[in-house]
Structure 1
Amino acid sequence: MYIAAILGSITILYIVKTEPSLHEPMYYFLCLLLLTDMFLSTSLVPKTLSIFWFNSTEITFAKICVAVVLRGFMIILPIPIMGSRLPYCSSNIIPHSYCKHFSVVSLACADIRPSSYYSVSMVFLVPSVDGFFIAVSYTQILRAIFRMPTKDARLKAFGTCGTHLCAFSALCIPDLFVSLMQRIGSDVPLPVLSVMINVKLLVPPLLHPIIYGVRTKQIRDRLLWILTQKRA
C-alpha cells in the first residue's frame, strides 16, 4: 500500500508538472494534497517496518520533539504539554507504531480526562471548522454551477466537486471513526484497533491518486499519452 501510494502520488505530480494545461490552481491544490499524503505515509511506514524487521520499538525524545514541531503549533502543541505533566509509573510500551496521543496518556497513573477531552474536542472541532468553510465554499461553487449555460458544463463541474468531496471524506471519516473507537470501543481487540489506526493513515494516500487520476480527464488523458509514448 505504501509503495502504491508513493508511486501513484509521484505519477500524478509528474503529470501535472509536465503538462502545461494542468498548471492551474485546482491542480496545484491537488499537488499539495498529494505531497501531504506522501509525507504522512513516509512518517509512518518506515517506523512500522523498523519495528517488524529490526525490533526497533523505542521512539526517542529527539524524534518526538521533531514530530511535534512539524505537526503544528496551535492545535497539536497542547497535547504533548498536557501529556508530559502526567506521572507515568508503569509500562512505557504503546501498542502502535507511532505516538498515538490517547495510547500514550493511557499509561499515566493520574486523571487523564483533561487531556482526553481536549483531544476529543479537536477530533470534532477541526473537521467541523474545515467542513464549515468547505460548505460555504461549495455553496458559492454550486451557485456558480447552476448559472452555467449548458448541461455538460454543469455535469463536469459537479464531477470536479465530487472528486474533492471524496478526497476530503477519505481523509476525515476514518480518522473520526478510529478516534471514537479507541475511546468507546472497549470490546474491540487491541490488534484490530492497531491495524485500523495504521490503515487509516495509509488508505487516504492510496486512494487520492486513484480518485484524481480516474475522475480528472486531463490527468487521465495525459497518463494514457505517456504510457502510449513509452510503448511506442
Structure 2
Amino acid sequence: MSRDQRAGERGMASTVLIIAIPALVAVALLFVTMLSDGLSRRTRTSTAADAASLAAAEQWRSYVDDVLSGADGLAPDRTLDRLQPLLTADAATLDASRIQRRARDLAGANDATLLSLSTRLTGRGVEFSVRTRSLRPANDTAIRLESSATAVVEVSGGVCFRGSRLGLLLGSSCTGWDDIEEYLNPPPPPAPPEDEDEDDAAEPTPTPTPTPRLSFSRFRTDVRLVA
C-alpha cells in the first residue's frame, strides 16, 4: 500500500470519527437525561408516599390530642360527651374522613394521587400504610410510577389500648369507657329509711356529694416512618 493510500485512509477515519463523536455524545447525554428524569420521578413518588402516610398519622394524633385537651376540666356530663366518640369507636377508624383527606392532599402536593390507605393497630399504636401513583408518566411513556410507605403513631402516655378501642391511662390503670361513665355519672345514693317512731326528730343534713373529676395524664406520642 502506498504512502498516499495510507494517508487517504487515515483522513477517512478521522472524518468518520469527527462525525461519530458528536452522535455518541448526544446518545450518552440522552441516556443520562432519561436516567436522571426516571430517578427524579421515582424520588418524587416516594416522597409523596412518605408525606401522605405521615400526614395520616399526624391527623390521627392531632384528633386524639384535641379531644383530650377539650375534655380536660369540663363538668362530668360535658366530659362524657367529649370522650364518648373517642373511647367507643375502633381506634383504627377514628377521624377516618379527615385522615383520608389529609393523605390525599399531601400526595397531590407532591404530584401524585393516593391509590389506597389502610390502618391497623400495633402493640403500642396505629400504623397508616399508603400507596401512591405519580401524576406524570416517566420519561414520556405511559408508565406512572407507584410507591408505598407506612407511618406509625406510637403512644407512650395519656391513652392506652383496650382491645380495638382506646382507654384513658388513669394512674397506672387503663380505664375504658364503661368505667369512666360510671365514675363520672354515678347512681344517686339510696334514700334513707323512714323511722315511724321518730317523726318529730330533726332530719340530718345530707352530706353533699363531691363532683367527680378526671385527672388526665399528658398525651405523649412518637410519629415516624417505618417503611
Q: Which one has a bigger Cα radius of gyration?
A: 2
One fold, TM greater than 0.5? no
TM-score w.r.t. length of structure 2: 0.25
Larger relative helix fraction: 1
Larger relative strand fraction: 2
